[in-house]
Amino acid sequence: MNKDTVPHFSVGELNQAIGNLLSRGFAPTFLLHATVSKAQLKNGHLWLTLTDGKASISAVIWSSSLKNISFRPVEEDGVELLGKLNFWQNRATLVVQVIQIRPTLSTVLRQFEVVRSLLVNEGLIADERRRPLPRFPSAIAIFTSVPSSAYADMLRTAKERWPLTKLLVVAIPVQGEVSVKIREALSKLADSYLHLGVQALVLARGGGSREDLMVFDNEELCRQLAEFPIPVITGLGHEDDLTVADLVADHRSATPTAAIVDLLPSREMAKNNCIQLRARFKDYVTWTIQNKSREILDRKNTLVNFSPFLQLRKQKQLLSQMTKLLIALSPTSLLKRGFCIVRNNLDTAVKSVKDLKVGDQVTIELSDGYTHSKVQTIFPNKKI
């Protein structure tokens, strides 16, 4: 070995040379796909052991970055991270410094299924628990990221559909301890919703990947939503995205804008309904007036028919008719027409010649007086 041609290093010089080589010859940042085999929190920093099944490497999320990361990996989580290499020369230790980290889709779906199964077994995901939405809410709370396109669309849609509803907007973060902050906001609203007059809660987040919605699979958050005192409407991600929060909510909408459409009534539809109701009410009033008018007229006629004056007049007419009939049938009227009444000595009217005999004294009553006569001859009628 020729010592003159072989580089000479001390331990420190060798480590420094390796560090310089890494800093010059390796990408400043890179994407890494791995599985977490170990996760440990030390002095506020999260230390990870990453593996692909064949090799492993250490990684760290510094406390300054940890507070801005919504996803905290645990053992067996698949992750995708943006990182850079840290080489500590004193110990020749190579560590991946995590700048950003997110779960893989398989990790998200695994957590979704674990939490879903748990809440299903407890009866927190059941159709009979779902409450109806208020028809004309006076005030609603909207939990969403501000500013965002979803937030702008929700405000515009609410103004177009039903501007009478007051909107209480609560900004929720998209980074850091998202689930904790949402839960804190939910607790505050649960304590004050009666005072504020809030009748429903909209939990919304604009489109993104399913991994971005993993916070809405958080068990504690979903329990709080399931037990919230007012109806909860979710509009999370896209129509194909399904979270545990959607399952425990009283109503799931496909998008944030759809949540506003599903909750607030349509101003135009309400206007048309009012026009139809007014027309129906007018028809009903007209029919009622006509019906009551006929009823009043019928009762008036009934009262007229039973009035004392009319009854008296009818009785007078009847009395007059009966009087005329009695007069026409009275013996006096018959006498005036040329008839006479023959009475025997017993003052009994003679009805047949058989009641008389020759020599009987009879009284003959005429229209203007009486005469006494003696029967001299009797002539019975001959039978035909």
| pLDDT tens track for 252-299 | 999 999 999 999 998 888 888 888 999 899 999 999 999 999 999 888
| pLDDT on residue 151 | 93
pLDDT tens digits for range 297-324: 888 888 777 778 878 888 899 999 998 8
pLDDT of residue 59: 93
Query: Would the CA dihedral through 29, 33, 35, 37 be positive or negative?
Result: negative
Q: What is the pLDDT of residue 310?
A: 79
342-373: b (≥16 Cβ within 10 Å) or e? beeeeeeebeeeeeeeeeeeeeebeeeeeeee
Kindly report the average pLDDT of the chain as a whole number.
89
φ/ψ of residue 240, rounded to 5: -80, -15
Share of the chain above pLDDT 70, in %: 97
Partnered with residue 48 across adjacent β-strands are 39, 59
* CB-based burial label for 378 (10 Å; 0-12, 13-18, 19+): exposed
Quick one: which H or E segment has residue 51?
A: strand 45-51
Asked if residues 200 and 233 have their Cβ atoms less than 8 Å apart, the reply is yes
Domains and CATH numbers, the chain: 11-103 (2.40.50.140), 109-268 (3.40.50.2300), 331-374 (no CATH)
Dihedral of alpha carbons 9, 12, 18, 24, sign: negative
| Whether the predicted pLDDT of 344 surpasses 60 | yes
Q: How confident is the model at residue 4 (pLDDT cuts 50, 70, 90)?
A: low
Confidence of residue 32 (pLDDT cuts 50, 70, 90): very high
Cα(282)–Cα(288) distance, integer angstroms:
10
Among candidates 348, 383, 342, 344, which has minimal Cα distance to 360?
344
- Whether the Cβ atoms of residue 257 and residue 157 lie closer than 8 Å to each other: yes
pLDDT for 203-215, tens place per residue? 999 877 888 888 8
Confidence of residue 3 (pLDDT cuts 50, 70, 90): low
The values of phi and psi at residue 60, to 5°, are -145, 140
Reply yes or no on whether the pLDDT at 353 is more than 70.
yes
Residue in the structure block whose two tokens are 């007051």: 166
Residues 370 and 363 sit within 8 Å (Cβ to Cβ): yes
Beta bridge partners of 234: 203, 252
Q: Is the dihedral of CA 353, 354, 360, 363 positive or negative?
A: negative
Q: In this structure, are residues 229 and 125 in contact, taking their beta carbons and an 8 Å threshold?
A: no
Helix axes 219-226, 105-121, angle to 10 degrees: 40
The pTM is what? 0.65
Contact 64, 44 (CB under 8 A): no
Relative to beta strand 45-51, strand 56-61 is: antiparallel
> To which residue do tokens 């029967």 refer?
375
DSSP collapsed to 3 states, 163-181: CCCEEEEEECCCCCCHHHH
HSE at residue 161, side-chain half, CA atoms within 13 A, is 22
pLDDT attached to residue 384 = 44
Q: What is the pLDDT of residue 176?
A: 58
